[in-house]
């Protein structure tokens, strides 16, 4: 049988660090190779100190006590008096060495113990079952326990019974899982074997399974157990310690009367470890079998009885049950039912009342709080931040003073556990905030316990509250009574200073110039603190001497008057780590990175160091000057000009050099030249800095010697035995294309002595007419040959130069080419190369005679014109004129003309004596004189054209000259002249000729009356008309074009209402008056409507009729018949109209036929209007009547006449009145039109004004929004005065800002000698914000003085000029793939979304820069220098951002650099 139970909280232990008991140590003597190889064991007695131990070592190994050696551990930690007890433990191995760092001359060995920790057993199940491949691990653990029972019951003869019980009744103990079986049980030895970890079933001593010679593992059966799980002896322990933290094994062997009990628990292991006892040891309890069973007592009030059978009234009975309400009911709200026989009738009421009182006294009443480990929290105590609150031991006491952990309940039933809740509440202006909350339960063997709290760091007022709550509901009341609680109020203030940081410093820092270091103190949690105690700072910096005056205390702590002295190597300064140590602080040191610049100038250093300097006359002496500070550092400052004045001779130069940027330079100038020097002469040089009066001048003595260097250079031309001197700037005439040979040179010194040409001198001689010089010839005094130009216009400038370190000489001459013998005749056409047919060439042909290189030769004379001949195909020689131009020695030919013929290129041959030459001109057609039709038939007969049809060919005309050659003249206007009755489609438009002189008028559709018509094409050129041919057209009628409808009917017929119309015969007539046949009858229709005086067109409701089918006796072809059409019943006048549907939109209609539906003669008289005759008798303004009487003989009855009344007016008077009224009407109409136009203009103007008002309102809204964005509010009333006042105020602010001093860079910029130099880094960018400028300048430090160039060559040139003192950065050497992306977002943005909310306002440092010019190059420079550096507001914001970014960049190699203001 096996069982597993839960456990309480664990208690941590610490090993005892003492070494007071007897110890055994092992010694290896490795001082020398001859030392003893083996180990020596040494027993160290109790309470032995280091001196006695050393003496024992010397005695054991036979070493003299005076001999020097050290005793170390195997990790080379030296044993001393201070660490002897804590280092020398039992079983430790020690070395004897000459020194701690001595090499081991021979190998050693060291004893170790590796007994596994008890977690190997306790936590093995956790590791095993949590790795169950995602399945529920509990069934696997229970399977191990069931497998043990299967093995124990495998030999049962009867029933195999295995029970699993889950026990949760805490009155009977802790919750547990019990596995009970009826197997054969285990002996104490077998129980001991079960407890051994990793002891398999085949190696257990005394076990019945120890023999495995014939063992075969059972075949696995799915979803079943086979008692073979614990094959390796680990499953049972893993299972019980996975389910709980203690195991109790109770077993009784079948053949024994004893019960064996074994308990393994984590609590016992921890207790043994704490007490230094053997962990893997214990006891098996052997006892007899016993059975104990008790029944609890109940106290309560009887509610009702339940008797067996039927009973009336009060009956005494012993059989049945009784229902009891447990007392006190405030604690036990429970009703139980028990047999009546169990009632105790002898109990007294006093006993029950005392029991109830005792039970009520068991309720929790108060809390007892103690501080076993110290650090007690007192009420209203003010504690520094981080001060720990000691561990709390809490007991819940009832009124009896008894400690309790549960609410009181019945002895046999469960009761509610009590928990203690601890809360620490921070009181702030924004409300109360709960920062700590813990709940402790009673451990059974220990009271309520809260560990030490060390994380209360924020400043403010706090309350520590202890509250008793119920286990499951966390309720703080029970039975209507509040459970005990306790509150302790306290405050947290800042702690003492534990660390510090630097405030805002005021750079630059210079050697010997005092500056201040502000300090900011914080306690260990970063709260601002103050220095209140005296402290002596220690300032350290490698290679520097530092001093300070004092340190102030209080809120503003400053180290005043810090003075630094020491070497800084260059005038640009040097970066130093200034370590500030404040003794007594926990973090007592901080590193301040400063850029230390040299101090103010103190003295000059001039090289060479000797007092007397020797130079030759005509040379400049260079002085190496260095401006030094008090620590002999090269220093620089603005206006640091060094002067050198020479004395001892007239007209001596003054040397000046600007050392403002580098502090050192070469002081030199023009050469020192004294006229007519014959011997050595002494001069004085005084070197000083005029702007620095406290810097002493330096004087040097100069000894001037006559010069022995080259002073004069001469060139000679050798002709035969004679050498002719060519003086400087002489002009030499030579044949063009020839070579000047035999040129020599000579050089002389200052004393007019000829100087022998050596190889060194020859290398310094240069000529400008050839890149290659034969040095052997130069050694002999020979110059290279000069190639004379082939053109007399090209003169060659020849220069021989000599340049060394002392002098620069040159001698030059000019070679003027002369023409050679006559070789060619050259013709040149001046003017246009084209000539119009019939016209002379506009320009002239100029003839000259040249040599072989084209140089003109004066070969013509007045009598040479007869030898000139001109020939060409089609050339007209009648107007040729030849003229000799004596001033230019050329012949001019004019009057070139060609006989009319085909245009094209014409070649002309000019011959003079034995020389000839050709020119080519282009003969083009003459001016336009004709217009010809292209691809058009002959115009002898008229061209027949059907009316409304197209012409057969497009009308295309060509401009031609008088010889019918096409004249390619563009943009000549072409007009088509015709009669008005001749219509052309498209309409006649004006055309222009193209580049070939053609104009395509297109294909016309002709519409005109029948007959002959003419049209003519004309052109206008140079304001004159060119008439073209006359085109005659014969217009023929179109036999297929319908023009009218012919309607035939019996006009004498009478039409009676309701009768039938006579037959109508309709035909379609074409233009040639013929009937069009083959027309679809559906296209012919008839419409009839009642006549209305105001309607001339058929109404929409007109009745429509279709034509009838053609009968056999209808002889006329192409006619359509409308027969038997019914006359309307209503009497009146009707209109009939026939229509022919020409297409979908056009209808050809006939004339309207008006018929009277009554009894009408077809030949009736229709009065369109009636007019009274002049001078008719009548009375003015009198009404008269016209009587119409129809005379119808065929009608049997008489019809009533029609009477038409009318008014008679005198015509003359009425006409005058009508004329006056008409005139007045016209004037009124004009006024109406004028006013309507005025109203329309006013309306348009009003609409435009409304649009402008809307636009103004929109603009006003935009401006208001923009002003609101700048926190500027404009009132609703009195806007203009407010805006004027605001503008005035802003203008004054602008003027004040302009007057304020601005930041300026103190580093002088480098002079840009070429376009490849951008300048120093400090001058490439600008920053608006002062604080950002200071931070970025500090970050860049020494890089600010670096000069940026585009190329490496420019950088090398600057480096050489400054002798390596100037930093340079060539852009072509930067590896641009590693440069940052300027568009990259900040790290707290990922995929366009905010990843976390930073504190402050982070920004990339590079985004604060603005570049005046060279933006692309500047982005490359500062991208390399700044990278992804981020600037934040303060240190807290930077630390917060760094933590968040570190998480963000957890698997990245590089995180951004953070810098705070």
CB count within 10 Å of CB 315 equals 10
For residue 8, pLDDT beyond 50: no
pLDDT given at position 180:
92
Ranges 340-344, 379-383, 864-868, 935-939, most confident: 379-383
The DSSP element (H or E) to which 1459 belongs, if any, is strand 1458-1460
351 — pLDDT class (breaks 50, 70, 90): confident
The stretch 681-688 carries a mean pLDDT of 90
**3-state class (DSSP) for residue 387:** coil
978 — pLDDT class (breaks 50, 70, 90): confident
Instruction: Tell me how far the alpha carbon of residue 150 is from its chain's centroid.
Output: 70
pLDDT given at position 71:
93
Lowest model confidence (mean pLDDT) among 673-677, 943-947, 1310-1314, 1387-1391: 1310-1314
Q: Answer yes or no: are the C-beta atoms of 946 and 1038 closer than 8 Å.
A: yes
CB count within 10 Å of CB 328 equals 19
User: Residue 571 and residue 598: Cα distance in Å, rounded?
Assistant: 6
196 — pLDDT class (breaks 50, 70, 90): confident
For residue 228, pLDDT beyond 80: no
Q: What is the pLDDT of residues 607-633, one digit of tens each?
A: 988 888 888 887 888 999 999 998 888
Instruction: Print burial letters for 1375-1401: b (CB count within 10 Å at least 16), e (below 16).
Output: eeeeebeeeeebbbeeeeeeeeebebe
Lowest model confidence (mean pLDDT) among 347-351, 503-507, 570-574, 1093-1097: 1093-1097
Instruction: Tell me how far the alpha carbon of residue 845 is from its chain's centroid.
Output: 72
Q: What is the pLDDT of residues 1041-1061, one digit of tens each?
A: 888 888 888 888 887 877 888
Q: What is the pLDDT of residues 86-114, one digit of tens each?
A: 888 888 889 889 898 888 888 888 877 66
Reading phi first (left if > 0) and then psi (alpha if -120 to 50, else beta), residue 1433 is in alpha
Does the predicted TM-score (pTM) go above 0.85? no
**3-state class (DSSP) for residue 96:** strand
Instruction: Print burial letters for 950-987: b (CB count within 10 Å at least 16), e (below 16).
Output: ebeeebbbbbbbeeebbbbbeebebbbebeeebebeee
Rounded to a whole number of angstroms, the CA Rg of the chain reads: 66
φ, ψ (nearest 5 deg) of residue 172: -95, 0
Lowest model confidence (mean pLDDT) among 872-876, 945-949, 1042-1046, 1391-1395: 1391-1395
pLDDT given at position 1058:
79
Report the DSSP pairing between strands 176-181 and 162-167: antiparallel
CA angle 1234, 1239, 1245 (to 5 degrees): 125
581 — pLDDT class (breaks 50, 70, 90): very high
CB count within 10 Å of CB 1028 equals 21
Q: Answer yes or no: are the C-beta atoms of 424 and 435 closer than 8 Å.
A: yes
User: Residue 540 and residue 521: Cα distance in Å, rounded?
Assistant: 20
Cis omega (within 30 of 0) on the bond before 608? Answer: yes
For residue 212, pLDDT beyond 50: no
For residue 943, pLDDT beyond 60: yes
Q: Answer yes or no: are the C-beta atoms of 1157 and 1170 closer than 8 Å.
A: no
* CA quadruple 137, 138, 139, 142: dihedral sign: positive
Instruction: Print burial letters for 1325-1361: b (CB count within 10 Å at least 16), e (below 16).
Output: bebeeeebbbbbbebbeebbbbbbbbeeebbebbbee
Residue 1252: half-sphere exposure toward Cβ, Cα within 13 Å = 6
pLDDT given at position 1197:
62
Tokens of 194: 């079960």
The stretch 575-595 carries a mean pLDDT of 89
**3-state class (DSSP) for residue 147:** helix
Contacts of 468 (CB under 8 A, 6+ apart): 364, 367, 396, 418, 419, 420, 421, 476, 483, 484, 485
Residue 1012, CA distances (Å) to 149, 684, 944, 958, 982 in order:
136, 122, 9, 26, 10
For residue 18, pLDDT beyond 70: no
Q: What is the pLDDT of residues 395-434, one digit of tens each?
A: 889 888 888 888 776 543 446 788 999 999 999 888 899 8
Q: Given the structure tokens 């006579």, which residue do they identify?
A: 1062
The stretch 5-9 carries a mean pLDDT of 34
For residue 1457, pLDDT beyond 60: no
User: Residue 105 and residue 37: Cα distance in Å, rounded?
Assistant: 10
Quick one: CA torsion of 1364, 1367, 1372, 1377, rounded to 10 degrees?
130
pLDDT given at position 198:
54
pLDDT given at position 1461:
46
For residue 466, pLDDT beyond 90: yes
User: Residue 960 and residue 924: Cα distance in Å, rounded?
Assistant: 12
Residue 1302, CA distances (Å) to 478, 1042, 1307, 1406 in order:
75, 97, 15, 22
Q: What is the pLDDT of residues 736-765, one digit of tens each?
A: 889 998 899 988 877 777 888 888 888 889
Lowest model confidence (mean pLDDT) among 336-345, 477-486, 1020-1029, 1366-1375: 336-345
Percent of the chain at pLDDT exceeding 90: 9
Q: Given the structure tokens 């103990």, which residue do they identify?
A: 173
Report the DSSP pairing between strands 1024-1036 and 998-1002: unpaired
**3-state class (DSSP) for residue 294:** coil
Q: Answer yes or no: are the C-beta atoms of 707 and 755 closer than 8 Å.
A: no
End-to-end CA distance of the chain: 73
Average pLDDT score, the chain: 82
The stretch 481-498 carries a mean pLDDT of 90
pLDDT given at position 487:
93
1166 — pLDDT class (breaks 50, 70, 90): very low
Instruction: Tell me how far the alpha carbon of residue 1344 is from its chain's centroid.
Output: 28
Higher pLDDT, 14 or 1376: 1376
CB count within 10 Å of CB 280 equals 13
Q: What is the pLDDT of residues 150-175, one digit of tens each?
A: 888 988 888 889 999 888 766 566 78
Higher pLDDT, 933 or 1182: 933
Helix axes 1415-1426, 1330-1340, angle to 10 degrees: 70
pLDDT given at position 16:
40
Q: What is the pLDDT of residues 775-802, one digit of tens each?
A: 888 888 899 999 999 888 889 899 999 9
Instruction: Print burial letters for 711-737: b (CB count within 10 Å at least 16), e (below 16).
Output: bbbbbbbeeeeeeeebeeeeebebebb
**3-state class (DSSP) for residue 1269:** helix
Tokens of 1280: 């203009």
User: Residue 709 and residue 755: Cα distance in Å, rounded?
Assistant: 9
């Amino acid at each position: 049988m096996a069982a597993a139970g839960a456990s309480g909280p664990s208690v941590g232990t610490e090993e005892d660090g003492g070494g007071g008991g007897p110890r055994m140590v092992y010694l290896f003597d490795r001082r020398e190779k001859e030392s003893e190889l083996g180990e020596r064991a040494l027993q160290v007695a109790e309470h032995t100190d280091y001196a006695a131990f050393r003496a024992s070592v010397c005695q054991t190994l036979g070493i003299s006590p005076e001999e020097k050696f050290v005793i170390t551990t195997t990790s080379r930690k030296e044993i001393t008096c201070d660490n002897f007890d804590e280092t020398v433990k039992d079983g430790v191995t020690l070395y004897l060495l000459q020194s701690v760092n001595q090499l081991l001359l021979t190998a050693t060995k060291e004893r170790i113990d590796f007994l596994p920790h008890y977690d190997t057993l306790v936590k093995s199940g956790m590791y095993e079952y949590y790795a169950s491949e995602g399945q529920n691990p509990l069934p696997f653990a229970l399977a191990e326990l069931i497998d043990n029972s299967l093995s124990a019951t495998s030999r049962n003869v009867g029933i195999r019974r295995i029970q699993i019980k889950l026990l949760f009744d805490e009155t009977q103990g802790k919750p547990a899982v019990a596995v009970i079986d009826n197997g054969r049980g285990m002996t104490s030895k077998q129980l001991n074997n079960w407890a051994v970890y990793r002891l398999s079933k085949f190696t257990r001593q005394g076990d019945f399974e120890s023999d495995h010679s014939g063992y075969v593992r059972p075949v696995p059966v799915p979803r079943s157990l086979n008692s073979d799980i614990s094959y390796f002896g680990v499953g049972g322990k893993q299972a019980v310690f996975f389910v709980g933290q203690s195991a109790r094994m109770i077993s009784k062997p079948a053949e024994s009367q004893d019960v064996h009990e074994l308990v393994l628990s984590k609590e016992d292991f921890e207790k043994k470890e704490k007490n230094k006892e053997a962990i893997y040891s214990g006891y098996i309890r052997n006892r007899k079998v016993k059975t104990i069973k008790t029944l609890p007592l109940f106290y309560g009030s009887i509610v009702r009885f339940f008797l067996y059978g039927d009973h009336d009234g009060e009956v005494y009975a012993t059989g049945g049950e009784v229902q009891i309400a447990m007392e006190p009911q405030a604690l036990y709200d429970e009703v139980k039912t028990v047999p009546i026989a169990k009632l105790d009738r002898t109990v007294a009421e006093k006993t029950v009342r005392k029991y109830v009182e005792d039970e009520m006294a068991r309720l929790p009443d108060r809390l007892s709080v103690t501080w076993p480990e110290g650090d007690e929290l007192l009420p209203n105590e003010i504690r520094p931040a981080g001060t720990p609150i000691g561990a709390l031991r809490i007991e819940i006491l009832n009124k009896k003073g008894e400690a309790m952990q549960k609410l009181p309940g019945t002895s046999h039933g469960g009761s509610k556990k009590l928990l203690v809740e601890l809360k620490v509440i921070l009181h702030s202006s924004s409300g109360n905030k709960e920062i700590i909350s813990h709940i402790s339960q009673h451990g059974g063997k220990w009271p309520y316990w809260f560990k030490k709290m060390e994380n209360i760091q924020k400043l403010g007022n706090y309350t520590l509250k202890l509250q008793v709550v119920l286990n499951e509901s966390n309720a703080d009341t029970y039975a209507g009574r509040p459970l005990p609680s306790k509150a302790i109020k306290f405050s947290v203030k800042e702690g003492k200073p534990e660390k510090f940081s630097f405030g805002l410093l005021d750079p630059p820092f210079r050697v010997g110039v005092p500056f201040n270091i502000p300090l900011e103190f914080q306690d260990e949690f970063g709260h601002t603190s103050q220095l209140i105690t005296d402290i002596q700072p220690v300032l350290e910096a490698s290679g520097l001497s530092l001093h300070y005056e004092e340190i102030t205390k209080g809120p503003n702590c400053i180290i005043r008057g810090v003075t630094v002295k020491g070497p800084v190597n260059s005038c640009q300064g040097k970066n130093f780590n200034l370590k500030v140590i404040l003794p007594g602080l926990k973090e007592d040191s901080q590193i301040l990175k400063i850029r230390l610049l040299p101090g103010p100038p103190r003295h000059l250093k001039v090289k060479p160091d000797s007092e007397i300097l020797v130079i030759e006359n005509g040379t400049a002496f260079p002085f190496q000057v260095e401006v030094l500070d008090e620590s002999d550092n090269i220093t620089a400052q603005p206006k640091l000009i060094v002067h050198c004045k020479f004395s001892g001779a007239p007209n001596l130069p003054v040397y000046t050099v600007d050392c403002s940027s580098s502090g050192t330079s070469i002081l030199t100038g023009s050469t020192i030249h004294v006229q007519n020097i014959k011997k050595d002469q002494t001069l004085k040089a005084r070197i000083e800095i005029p702007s620095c009066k406290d810097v002493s001048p330096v004087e040097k003595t100069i000894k001037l010697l006559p010069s022995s260097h080259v002073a004069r250079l001469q060139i000679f031309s050798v002709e035969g035995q004679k050498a002719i001197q060519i003086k400087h700037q002489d002009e030499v005439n030579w044949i063009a294309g020839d070579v000047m040979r035999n040129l020599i040179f000579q050089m002389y010194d200052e004393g007019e002595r000829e100087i022998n040409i050596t190889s060194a001198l020859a290398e310094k001689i240069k000529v400008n007419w050839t890149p290659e010089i034969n040095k052997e010839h130069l050694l002999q005094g020979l110059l290279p040959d000069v190639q004379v130009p082939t053109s007399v216009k090209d003169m060659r400038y020849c220069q021989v130069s000599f340049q060394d370190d002392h002098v620069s000489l040159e001698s030059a001459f000019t070679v003027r080419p002369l023409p050679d013998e006559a070789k060619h005749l050259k013709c040149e056409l001046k003017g246009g190369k084209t000539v119009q047919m019939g016209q002379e060439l506009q320009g002239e042909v100029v003839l000259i005679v040249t040599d072989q290189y084209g140089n003109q030769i004066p070969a013509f004379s007045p009598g040479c014109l007869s030898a000139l001949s001109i020939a060409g195909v089609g050339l007209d020689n009648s107007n040729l004129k030849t003229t000799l131009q004596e001033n230019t020695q050329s012949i001019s030919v004019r009057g070139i003309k060609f006989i009319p013929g085909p245009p094209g290129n014409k070649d002309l041959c000019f011959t003079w004596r034995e020389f000839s030459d050709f020119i080519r001109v282009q003969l083009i057609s003459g001016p336009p004189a004709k217009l010809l039709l292209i691809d058009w038939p002959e115009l002898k007969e008229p061209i027949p054209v059907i009316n409304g049809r197209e012409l057969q060919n497009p009308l295309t005309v060509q401009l031609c000259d008088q010889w019918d050659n096409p004249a390619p003249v563009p943009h000549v206007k072409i007009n088509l002249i015709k009669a008005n009755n001749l219509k052309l489609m498209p309409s006649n438009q004006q055309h222009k000729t193209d580049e070939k002189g053609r104009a395509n008028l297109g294909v016309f559709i002709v519409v005109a009356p029948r007959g002959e018509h003419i049209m003519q094409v004309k052109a206008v050129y140079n304001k004159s008309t060119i008439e073209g041919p006359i085109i005659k057209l014969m217009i023929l009628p179109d036999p297929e074009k319908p023009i009218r409808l012919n309607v035939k009917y019996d006009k004498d017929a009478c039409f009676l209402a309701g009768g039938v119309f006579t037959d109508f015969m309709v035909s379609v007539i074409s233009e040639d008056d013929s009937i069009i046949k083959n027309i679809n009858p559906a296209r012919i229709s008839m419409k009839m409507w009642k006549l209305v005086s105001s309607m001339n067109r058929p109404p929409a409701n007109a009745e429509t009729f279709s034509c009838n089918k053609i009968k056999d006796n209808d002889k006329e072809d192409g006619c359509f018949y409308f027969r038997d059409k019914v006359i309307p019943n209503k009497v009146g006048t009707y209109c009939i109209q026939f229509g022919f549907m020409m297409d979908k939109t056009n209808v050809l209609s006939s004339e309207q036929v008006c018929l009277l539906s009554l009894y009408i003669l077809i030949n009736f008289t229709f009065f369109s209007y009636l007019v009274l005759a002049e001078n008719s008798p009548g009375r003015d303004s009198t009404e008269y009547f016209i009587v119409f009487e129809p005379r119808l003989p065929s009608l049997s009855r008489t019809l009533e006449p029609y009477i038409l009344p009318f008014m008679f007016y005198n015509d003359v008077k009425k006409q005058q009145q009508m004329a006056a009224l008409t005139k007045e009407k016209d004037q009124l109409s004009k006024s109406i039109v004028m006013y309507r136009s005025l109203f329309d203009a006013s309306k348009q103007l009003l609409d435009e004004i409304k649009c402008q008002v809307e636009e103004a309102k929109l603009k006003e809204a935009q401006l208001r929004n923009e002003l609101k964005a700048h926190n500027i509010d404009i009132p609703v009333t009195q806007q203009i005065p407010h805006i004027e006042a605001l503008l005035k105020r802003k203008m004054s602010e602008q003027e004040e800002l302009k007057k304020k001093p601005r930041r300026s860079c103190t580093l002088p910029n480098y002079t840009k000698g070429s376009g490849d130099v951008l300048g120093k880094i400090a001058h490439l960018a600008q920053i608006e914000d002062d604080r950002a400028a200071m931070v970025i300048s500090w970050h860049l430090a020494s890089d600010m003085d670096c000069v940026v160039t585009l190329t490496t060559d420019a950088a090398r040139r600057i480096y050489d000029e400054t002798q390596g003192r100037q930093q340079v950065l060539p852009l072509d050497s930067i590896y641009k793939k590693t440069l940052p992306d300027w568009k990259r977002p900040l790290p707290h943005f990922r995929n366009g979304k905010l990843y976390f909310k930073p504190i402050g306002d982070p920004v990339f440092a590079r985004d604060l820069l603005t570049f005046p010019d060279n933006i692309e190059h500047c982005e490359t420079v500062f991208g390399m220098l700044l990278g992804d550096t981020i600037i934040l507001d303060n240190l807290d914001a930077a630390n917060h951002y760094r933590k968040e970014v570190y998480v963000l960049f957890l698997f990245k190699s590089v995180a951004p650099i953070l810098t705070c203001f």
